[in-house]
Structure formats: C-alpha cells, structure tokens
Chain A
C-alpha cells in the first residue's frame, strides 16, 4: 500500500507539493486549539532535526548517534546571544552557522573513523556538550538554564503563540527541505551518496572523501542548529536536560522509522513518532512501553522505514551477499577494505 501511495506521489509530484504546501499554510485556520497546534509545531521541529540527521546518516552513510549535541549548540547559541540583544531572526541563521562550525570540528577527528567508532565519537561529543552546558555556569546558566528567551516579532504579532510560531517553523522546514533537495541533486549530493554506497569506488573517481564528509557534517549540523535555535524561543526556557542522549536516539528513531536516505522519510518519521507518543498518552505509565514496541515492530516489519524504497533492504542484503561471494572468491588477492 505504501508503495502505491509513493507511486501516486511520484507521478503527480508538483500537484502534491503545491497542494501540500497550501494545506500546511491553511492549517492554523482549521485548528483552533493551541495545544494541537503546539504538537504540530513540535512535529515540525523534529522534521528539521530528523532531516538534518538524515543528511548525515542517510545520504553519506556516516553514523551519527549524538545529534542532540548539535541541537543543544543551536539552542544555546540563540539563547545566549539573544540575551545580548541580537535580533532573533538573524540568530536563527547565526546559530546554524555556529553549529556548522562545531560540526566541522567534530568531523575532523571522525574523518578517519568508520562505523562503530564514529558512532561512539558522536555519542561522546553529545554527552560532552551536555555536560559542558551543565557545568559552564557563567555562559550557559549551568543547571539554572536560560529563561526568558525573547520571541521574534513577526508582522507585529507576538509570535510564540503556536498559531503564529507555526509559520516561522514552517518557513524553515520548507527552506530546509528545499535546500536539502537542491544539494542532494547536485555534484555535492552525488558525492555524498557515492561515499555512502562505496567509498573506495568514490575515491577512485576523484571524490575527496574528507572534504565531502566534512561538508556533509556541516550541512547536517547547520540544520540541527537551526532546529535547536527554533525551539528555544518557542519554549522560552532551555537547560541541558532537554538535550540528553535519549533525545538524540529519539531523533534517530524518527529517521529510521521514516526511512533513511529519502527526503520524505524523516518527515513521515517525525509525524508518526510524535503522534504515537501523543495518542498513547492515555496509557499513562505504559506509554513509553508502547513506543518501544512500535520501534521494535517497525524494525521487524519494515526495516527500510515507512517511506524507504520497498525491498531495498532485502535487495541490499542479496546484493551485499553476492558481493560477499565475489569478495570471498577474491579474498586471496584483494584486501582493499
């Protein structure tokens, strides 16, 4: 069924996109309740965060499990500078740039690493960031957090009401997806994907792996930073407990449940995950149990994610196997990897 929906979508892409955007713009007029709107705004935050993680994990095949660290940097950058009186609109971008620079610094050591080692470094980075935010009281307020983060003004409206802030986030969501789309359909995006598919082949074609991995990390970090920066004025208060490893795992689950390596995947993932946790609120204590079961059953039923290419994993597996056979056939001579 999902595949049929996908086909319908690809066949009428433009219509769907325009209709979808129109619906998104009209949404606040249809929904009266601020609480529902607030959940929608949260979903949009996660669309940005999951998409940015997808850029790193899904398109260049690196494995970042400490995404919360980047989100933290974005949120704190905005919160700190906003208290110095910088305009919020500018800060959204500044926060993104600062995070991208940190992303570059993280990418530096990780360029040499793969797989599990890379994952561990990002995990360590995320925890270091959280602990620094907790301990560097002079800058971050330490455990007191930063409160009273000002909200941007927007056509004369105080924008942190969910109905208004929605448009700001939606704007960035559209920009995020649009820029991701453009980059992915260019030399840069192709280079990322070539690294994901087979880095040795990519190297032999002159793709500078280090350069493109760094760009990839920076691009992903940029949007994670923007996402974090968007959250700060909406919640008006941030402290380090909002950016734990679990938060990073949460974003990761969204990407994978939605489908890695597709633009729609993270969008679907964040919608599904956030709605599920919301819907199962009545389950009280067992709420997270339900969420856990959802994650595991997704991996059993549709490991490629809801929006992932059908059979891709299975195909991937058999292609990998055939490669293994060939590799083992040649393993006497060939030890490139």
Chain B
C-alpha cells in the first residue's frame, strides 16, 4: 500500500516533468539545438499566469492560454537571439547563447517581479478522490489529464495537419525540407514557439501545483526537462513523456527507500546509468 502510494506520488510529479519534457522535445526536434533557456521559459509562463490571475481573476484555462502565448512570445525572442543565426554554426555557440539568455531572463525577472516567492490561487478547492488511504487531488488528476491531452493533441497536430507535417519534415531533414518548398526559417521559429508555449503551460501547472512562483524556479525544472528529453531519445515526444514519468517515479521511490535529500541524486544517477547502458536513450533508435 505504502509502495503504491509512493508510486502514485511519483506519477503525479513525473507528469509535470513529462509536460516540461514534451515542450523541450519539440524544441530540440525542430530546432535541433540544445537550450538552457527552457527553465526560464517555464518561469516566464508561471509569472504570466500569476499576473493574469491578478488582472483577470482566477480562470485556470484562460491562464493556460495566456501563459502559452507569453511563453511563445519569449520563445520568439530566444529564437532570434540564440538560434536563428546559429542554425548552421557549431552547436556550442548557440548553447552558450542560451546560457547567456537564461542568465538574462532570470535576472530580468528578479528585477521586474521581485525575488521573493509568490503564491498562486488554489484551484478545485483542494478536492480529491480517495482510493483507500490514498488521496489523489483533483489538481493532480487535471495535470495528468492535461499532460495526456496535450501529448495526444500534439501528436495529432504533428501527424494530421499541414503545419505538423512541416515541423516533422524540418525536424528530420532540413535540407530536404527546403527542397520541397518548406520555409525552414519560419518553421523552426514556429516549432520553437510551440515548444516554448508548452513549457509555459508546464510552468503554470508547476506554479499552481506547488503554489509558488519564483524567478529561480526554472533552473532545476529545465534540467529535469532536458534529462527526460534525452532519456526519451532526443526529440521523441511520447518517449520524453514516458521518461518524465519514469524520472518522477524513480525519485519518489528513491526517497521512500533512502533519504529525501537525495532526490536529485537519483534523477542524475538514473540518467548516467541509462546513458551508459543505452547511449541512444530509453526510446531512441540506434544510429540516430
């Protein structure tokens, strides 16, 4: 029972990692570059919701949309500054740019929004469903549902729409995409915006779930998203989502077995171990 309880805790936390990882996977898949600004995108999404609630009242769904848009707009800036110019250049250049951008956004947020923790309104009145002694909050269910819905929607979007097809084409082969008449520049920009928007949504759920918004909240969140994305096999959306959940579960079971201070150790040891055994990630194909 106890084990099951911890497992459910892990799944709940993992679903947030999963959502963050999906956004990262879209960015990496389409742009093809590693970003360290993603955590700050998450933070920006969270702050946008915080101010949305103040300005327009507590409507979570509208806030999610607002957060998506804000994060996507920040994504445009990040794209112009960090990616567009460096698509053909050695990868480390844009990587350093994203590190600079992350520093910039974090400090800008500190100056603009203040460095103290801010709270989010409570949604669903803390209601929950009981299964024996285990309680799963409505919010947790909503988060899991949002993750599943977004994964499905995203998959459908990528599979069924023309834009989705463009994104997939660009993520597979930029040259061939240009040859069939896809505007690679615009498409990578759009892909990046979608990824960032998902990051923003994840940021809002993160903020609401833990009831806190901070300029420094992005750091570890971005790292976990990155890790889940790599474990999932670089840009695979379903893989990233599953890896996010796996990381969450491993962390929580690790805490259950040892000490709670070691949470991140579990995450990173898992990462290193898996990459050692399967260099292409959990769901990646060999030779990619």
Q: Are A63 and B92 also in contact (CB < 8 A) when A120-B230, A289-B108, A328-B175 are?
A: yes
Contacting pair A317 B107 (CB below 8 A): no
Q: Are B275 and A113 in contact (CB under 8 A)?
A: yes
Main SS of chain B's interface residues?
helix
In the complex, residue of chain A having the shortest beta-carbon distance to the beta carbon of B269: A128
- B227 near A: Cβ within 8 Å? yes
User: For chain B residues 266-288, which have a beta carbon within 8 Å of chain A?
Assistant: 268-269, 271-272, 275-276, 279, 281
**Is A292 an interface position by the 8 A CB rule?**
yes
Residues of A within 8 A of B268 (CB): 124-125, 127-128, 131
Q: Which of A276-297 contact B (CB under 8 A)?
A: 285-286, 288-289, 291-296
Q: Quick one: CB contact mask for B237-261 with A, threshold 8 Å, 1 for yes?
A: 0000000000000000000000101
Question: Which listed residue (B89, B110, B219, B279) contacts A113, Cβ 8 A?
Answer: B279
When chains A and B are docked, how far (Å) is the Cα of A73 from the Cα of B32? Answer: 33
| A127 and B227 alpha carbons, distance in the complex (Å) | 12
Cα A127 to Cα B262 in complex, Å, equals 11
State whether the Cβ of B62 lies closer than 8 Å to any Cβ in chain A.
Answer: no
A251 to B134, CA, bound (A): 47
Q: Is the CB of A117 within 8 A of B85?
A: no
Residue B96 lies at the interface, judged by CB distance under 8 Å to chain A: yes
Complex: A132 Cα to B227 Cα, angstroms = 19
Specify the chain B residue showing the minimal Cβ separation from A65: B95
Cβ contacts under 8 Å, B89 to chain A: 303, 313, 317
Distance, CA A204 to CA B227, complexed state (A): 34
With A and B bound together, what is the CA distance between A312 and B85 in angstroms?
Answer: 17
Tell me if A253 and B99 are in contact (CB < 8 A): yes
Query: Mask for B151-191, Cβ within 8 A of A = 1, else 0?
Result: 00000000000000000000000010000000000000000
Residue in contact with B279 in the complex, picked from A112, A293, A299, A328, CB distance below 8 Å: A112
A109 at the B interface (CB under 8 A)? yes
A131–B103 CB distance below 8 A: no
Residue from B103, B107, B108, B264 whose CB has the most chain A CB atoms within 10 Å: B103
The listed residue (B96, B175, B227, B281) touching A124 by CB distance below 8 A is B227
Could you say which of B90, B94, B276 contacts A313, with CB atoms under 8 Å apart?
Answer: B90
Determine if A117 and B100 form an interchain contact, defined as CB atoms under 8 angstroms apart. no
Q: Which residues of B contact A286 (CB under 8 A)?
A: 107, 111
Is B90 within 8 A of A316, CB to CB?
Answer: yes
B262 near A288: Cβ-Cβ < 8 Å: no
B175 to A299, Cβ gap below 8 A? Answer: no
Closest residue of chain B to A289 (Cβ to Cβ) is B107
- Chain A residue at minimal CB-CB distance from B226: A120
The interface size bin for chain B is 35 or more
A249 engages B99 (CB within 8 Å): yes
Distance between Cα atoms of A249 and B70 in the complex (Å): 27
**Closest B residue, CB atoms, query A109:** B276
- List B contacts of A120 (CB < 8 A): 226-227, 230, 271, 275
Q: A295 and B279: CB pair below 8 A?
A: no
Q: Are A116 and B230 in contact (CB under 8 A)?
A: yes
Considering the complex, give the chain B residue whose CB is closest to the CB of A328.
B175
Assembled-state Cα–Cα distance A120/B269 (Å): 11
Q: What is the distance, in angstroms, from A312's C-beta to the closest C-beta of chain B?
A: 10
Q: Could you tell me if B264 and A256 are in contact, using CB atoms closer than 8 angstroms? A: no
A119-B34, A300-B85 known; A132+B265 contact, CB < 8 A = yes
Interface mask (B188-219 → A, CB under 8 Å = 1, otherwise 0): 00000000000000000000000000000001
- Asked if A128 contacts B275 (CB within 8 A), the reply is no
Interface string of B78-118 (1 = CB under 8 A from A): 00011001101111111011011101101110110000000
A292→B103 contact, CB < 8 A? yes
Could you say which residues of chain A place their CB within 8 Å of the CB of B219? 245
A299 in contact with B96 given A131-B264, A134-B261 (CB within 8 Å): yes
Contact A299 B97 (CB under 8 A): yes
Which residues of B come within 8 Å of A, CB atoms? 34, 36, 81-82, 85-86, 88-94, 96-97, 99-101, 103-104, 106-108, 110-111, 175, 219, 223, 226-227, 230, 234, 259, 261-262, 264-265, 268-269, 271-272, 275-276, 279, 281
25 intermolecular pairs with C-beta atoms under 8 Å apart: A109-B272, A113-B279, A116-B230, A120-B227, A120-B271, A124-B227, A124-B268, A127-B268, A128-B272, A135-B261, A135-B262, A135-B265, A245-B223, A249-B36, A253-B96, A253-B100, A285-B110, A288-B107, A289-B111, A293-B100, A295-B99, A313-B89, A313-B93, A317-B89, A321-B88
Which 8 pairs, one residue from A and one from B, show the smallest C-beta to C-beta distance? A295-B100, A292-B104, A124-B268, A109-B276, A292-B103, A296-B100, A288-B107, A292-B100
